[in-house]
Amino acid sequence: MKKIINDVENIVPEMISGLVRTNKNLVRQIDGTTAVVRNDAKFNENKQVGVVSGGGSGHEPLHAGYVGDGMLSAAVAGEVFTSPTPDQIYEAIKAVDQGQGVLLIVKNYSGDVMNFDMAKEMAEADDIKIATIVVDDDISVKNSEFTQGKRGVAGTALVEKVVGAAARSGMNLDDLAKLGQNVIDNTKTIGIALHAATVPAVGHPGFELKDDEIEYGIGIHNERGYAIEKIKPSKELAHELVEKIMDEFTDKSGSYAILVNGMGGTPLMEQYIFANDVLNEMSSKQIDVEYSKVGNLVTSLDMQGISLTIMKADSEWIKMLQEPVTTIAW
């Protein structure tokens, strides 16, 4: 394993320190935590419902990169691929509550759900109003009562963008939670891996794929997918993913947003090639794509791979996706 790090134990605090020190005008670190909160003047001028997200580290720029005017109020970073702890989440909630309550955006993993739940109980004991939405956009996982349910992956960035825009416009906590849930229900993602991620504390890739193999349906923590196949041209990958995802939408009318997301080790060049193929595929199906985004938004350390997210989005949501924000990474 070759990584630009010091001590494996200090990866997260050192990363957060670097992130905050290079973006002082945008974010500050909450003392004694690895949580960051908005540090811009508008944060205190324009009072709104707080929006807090967080999760394990290794998915940068998610979530700290999306803290700022128009997106998240605070983000809590856990250890690599490990949920943050309730005390840290609780500190972030307290730092952003401006009297209108706080919405928690949680990705659907048992650890995240439990830790955010404990933090919610702590904050409610302080009479802070809390609502939680759980993102579960990964349709490669069967949603049955016999599993944890679908995972939260790249669609989380789009959810944070829409919810963040609505919160800035002054939407109240209950409506924000309803909107968030509605967005989640209309956001679907599948990922593919060319090479697994190496968790620094483990030191080797989470799984092995042969040089000419790819795996469909992987998660963002090296969770295995649903099929291993030979690598194909980008347009065939785009065809496979668009077909699978669009199958999940019963009503294919209306407008859509797409996110082509790099997993951390895949060049932007390849991401644009794939995005081009996705748009071709969508137009051949006469599906109206009104918003597109490409980039490393929700990564999985050094994983080589890509994910495609498709969101069925009405004109209001498209507008909210397009609105400018002041963050490190959107």
- Grouping H, G, I as helix, E, B as strand and the rest as coil, residue 147 is coil
Tell me how far, at minimum, the Cβ of 222 lies from another protein, in Å: 6
Contact flag: residue 201 with another protein (CB under 8 A): yes
Answer yes or no: are the C-beta atoms of 57 and 299 closer than 8 Å: no
DSSP result, 181-211: HHHHHTEEEEEEEEE--B-TTT-SBSS---T
* Nearest of 330, 277, 325, 272 to residue 65 by alpha carbon: 330
Give the interface size with another protein as a residue count (CB under 8 A).
34
Give the contact letters, 115-154, x = binds to another protein (CB under 8 A), - = no. x-xx----------------------xx---xxx--x---
Stretch near another protein under the rule CB under 8 A, chosen from 13-21, 38-46, 194-202, 231-239: 194-202
Tell me how far, at minimum, the Cβ of 109 lies from another protein, in Å.
7
Q: Is 191 in the site for another protein (CB under 8 A)?
A: no
Catalytic (active site) residue 239: no
CB atoms < 10 A from the CB of 104, how many?
26
221 is a catalytic site residue:
yes
**Cβ proximity of 101 and 49 under 8 Å:** yes
Only segment of 110-118, 269-277, 288-296, 302-310 that touches another protein (CB under 8 A): 110-118
Pick 9 or 236: Cβ nearer another protein: 9
Residue 65 or 86 having the CB closest to another protein: 86
Q: What is the DSSP string of 52-94?
A: EEEEEESSTTTTGGGBSBTSBSEEEEEEETSPPPHHHHHHHHH
Told to check if 50 binds another protein by CB under 8 A, we report: no
Least separation, in Å, of the C-beta of 80 and another protein?
7
Nearer to another protein, 60 or 69 (CB): 60
Residue 302, C-beta contacts closer than 8 angstroms, at least 6 positions apart = 195, 197, 198, 264, 265
Nearest CA-CA partner of 72 in 80, 61, 58: 61
Among 43, 81, 216, 256, which residue interacts with another protein (rule: CB under 8 A)? 81
State which of positions 9-48 bind another protein (CB under 8 A). 9
Q: Is 13 helix (H, G, I), strand (E, B) or coil?
A: helix
* Under 8 Å between Cβ of 112 and 75: no
Active site residues: 59, 221
List residues binding another protein (CB under 8 A): 9, 56, 78-87, 109-111, 114-115, 117-118, 141-142, 146-148, 151, 199, 201-202, 206, 219, 221-224
